[in-house]
Amino acid sequence: MPTGWYVLSFRARSSEELSSQFYWATNTHRESEAYARRFAVGEAGDDWRDYHFYFQTDGNLIRLRLDPGDRAGQQVEFDWIRLERSNEEVLRALADELIRRVEQGDSNADNRTRLAQLLVALDGASDR
């Protein structure tokens, strides 16, 4: 897959909180901590929860590795997993629009939540 922005999305659940991580590799670098995201799965108990992680590659994406837990015996269920190309310009435009709304005094808490999620995603962390 070519250089650019991607979004790894999935629906998962676990009966306990799991320390999880995913890695990606390209034709210009191998899997490493520098190209990884840490996140927790299972805070909602048995409820399904959607996760979305935005990341940018510096070469052709050749491998993705998902480590859903870090201890023996932990279990996580996945309903679906999807990797798609993402458009950074669209994300930044949405973030700019939400910033404008918040600066104009929009008291809608959902706007603030979505803004925080977009900004975190663009900075390379998870959004949930």
Query: Model pTM?
Result: 0.65
What is the C-alpha separation between 73 and 80, in angstroms, rounded? 22
Which has the minimum average pLDDT: 43-47, 66-70, 73-77? 43-47
Least Cα distance to 2 among 58, 53, 52 occurs for: 58
Q: Each residue of 16-47: pLDDT tens digit?
A: 888 888 899 999 888 888 888 888 887 655 78
The helix (H) or strand (E) run that includes residue 24 is strand 18-26
Percent residues over pLDDT 70 in the chain: 74
CB 47 within 8 Å of CB 12: no
pLDDT band at 127 (very low <50, low <70, confident <90, very high): very low
